[in-house]
């Protein structure tokens, strides 16, 4: 009997080996190497062998420089600004979509597809189109605003409105993704809860806040973690729509990592930056995981 289970395990391991091998070579190994690079001054251009690493080893100098300089903190500020605007909006939008699709009788299938299409588009294509949509002179957004008598701002070239513009595009792109998650969460709520509450005379609002939200909290929690991790890694929209401008108003963590690594030939510095980002996201996720006891209700 033991031998049979052992054989099963070996068989299972062999089947998983190709997939593991790919992940190790293309994901795990580069990640470990980047730790080493972050301790060097490597410029990203010269061949990376042991002598190059030994020659450019600087210990924790990159980390000290990053944390000691003002740029890291202002860039972190921009990233947090994005997150503070983005997370509530995307949750609101996804909840709305989930509720609509949940209650819809006819045409639900078609709407599900329509809301999900933005999720499937590439960020590069979406950013290019949003750049045009937000054009101060020719863009659709400002023309619609003009039709109702509002003079639209210069969006991507206005320091105040550049980040909100990126938030807008990001919410548009992601709300289908989280909406579908929340929809399945809504579908998982037992109808008996609602029936019991209606018998007790609860109105729609009470139903929503006392039954729907608490029982949806596991899905909400998952969406929160995913959207936070993604929001910290904000990149393609910034690179294409504003390039970090205007006047550095939309410089975020990954944009800085890319610029230092590929424009300034400071790959060691960029690696250190990305590991600091990792630590940040890691700590935040841990905090969320600990904090879920307060508000996430799992059905026992």
Residues that bind other proteins (CB under 8 A): 9, 20, 23-24, 27-28, 31, 43-48, 122-124, 127, 135-139, 154, 157-159, 226, 229-230, 233, 235-236, 245-248, 259, 262-265
Peptide bond into 4 cis (omega under 30): no
Rounded to whole angstroms, the Cα distance separating 30 from 94 reads: 35
Nearer of residues 230 and 292 to other proteins, judged by Cβ: 230
Nearer of residues 159 and 190 to other proteins, judged by Cβ: 159
Across the chain, how many H-helices and E-strands are there?
A: 15, 0
Rounded to whole angstroms, the Cα distance separating 280 from 291 reads: 16
CA 227 to chain centre: 4
Rounded to whole angstroms, the Cα distance separating 227 from 181 reads: 12
Residue pair 105/122 in contact by the 8 Å Cβ criterion:
no
Taking the complex as a whole, the smallest distance from the CB of residue 247 to other proteins amounts, in Å, to 5
Taking the complex as a whole, the smallest distance from the CB of residue 188 to other proteins amounts, in Å, to 22
Residue 191 sits at φ, ψ, to 5 deg, of: -65, -25
Nearer of residues 109 and 243 to other proteins, judged by Cβ: 243
Taking the complex as a whole, the smallest distance from the CB of residue 261 to other proteins amounts, in Å, to 9
Which is it for the CA torsion 37, 41, 44, 50, positive or negative? negative
Rounded to whole angstroms, the Cα distance separating 282 from 288 reads: 10
Rounded to whole angstroms, the Cα distance separating 80 from 268 reads: 25
Nearer of residues 187 and 247 to other proteins, judged by Cβ: 247
Residue 237: partners with Cβ closer than 8 Å, 6 or more residues away: 123, 126, 127, 130, 166, 169, 170
Rounded to whole angstroms, the Cα distance separating 101 from 123 reads: 25
Taking the complex as a whole, the smallest distance from the CB of residue 279 to other proteins amounts, in Å, to 13
Taking the complex as a whole, the smallest distance from the CB of residue 248 to other proteins amounts, in Å, to 6
Taking the complex as a whole, the smallest distance from the CB of residue 10 to other proteins amounts, in Å, to 12
Taking the complex as a whole, the smallest distance from the CB of residue 40 to other proteins amounts, in Å, to 13
Nearer of residues 259 and 292 to other proteins, judged by Cβ: 259
Taking the complex as a whole, the smallest distance from the CB of residue 96 to other proteins amounts, in Å, to 23
H/E stretch holding 58: none
Residue pair 252/78 in contact by the 8 Å Cβ criterion:
yes
For residue 68, give both structure tokens.
Answer: 């000691």
């Amino acid at each position: 009997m033991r031998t049979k289970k052992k054989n099963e395990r070996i068989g299972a391991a062999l089947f998983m080996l190709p997939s593991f091998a790919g992940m190790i070579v293309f994901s795990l190994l580069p990640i470990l190497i980047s730790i080493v690079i972050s301790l060097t001054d490597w410029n990203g251009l010269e061949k990376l062998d042991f002598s190059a690493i030994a020659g450019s080893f600087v210990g924790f100098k990159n980390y000290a420089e990053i944390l000691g300089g003002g740029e890291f903190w202002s860039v972190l500020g921009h990233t947090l600004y994005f997150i503070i605007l983005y997370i509530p909006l995307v949750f609101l939008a996804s909840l709305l979509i989930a509720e609509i699709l949940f209650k819809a009788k006819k045409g639900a299938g078609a709407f599900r597809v329509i809301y999900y299409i933005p999720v499937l588009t590439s960020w590069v294509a979406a950013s290019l189109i949003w750049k045009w949509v937000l054009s101060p002179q020719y863009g659709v957004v400002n023309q619609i605003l003009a039709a109702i008598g509002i003079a639209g701002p210069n969006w991507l070239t206005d320091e105040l409105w550049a980040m909100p513009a990126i938030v807008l595009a990001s919410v548009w792109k992601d709300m289908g993704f989280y909406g579908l998650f929340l929809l399945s969460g809504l579908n998982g709520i037992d109808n008996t809860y609602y029936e019991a509450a209606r018998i007790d005379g609860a109105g729609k609002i009470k139903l929503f806040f006392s039954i729907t939200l608490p029982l949806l909290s596991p899905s909400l929690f998952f969406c929160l973690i995913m959207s936070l991790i993604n929001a910290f890694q904000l990149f393609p929209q910034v690179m294409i729509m504003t390039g970090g401008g205007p006047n550095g108003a939309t410089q975020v963590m990954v944009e800085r990592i890319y610029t230092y690594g590929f424009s300034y030939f400071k790959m060691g510095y960029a690696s250190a930056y990305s590991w600091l980002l990792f630590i940040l996201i890691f700590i935040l996720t841990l905090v969320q995981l600990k904090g879920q006891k307060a508000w996430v209700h799992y059905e026992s």
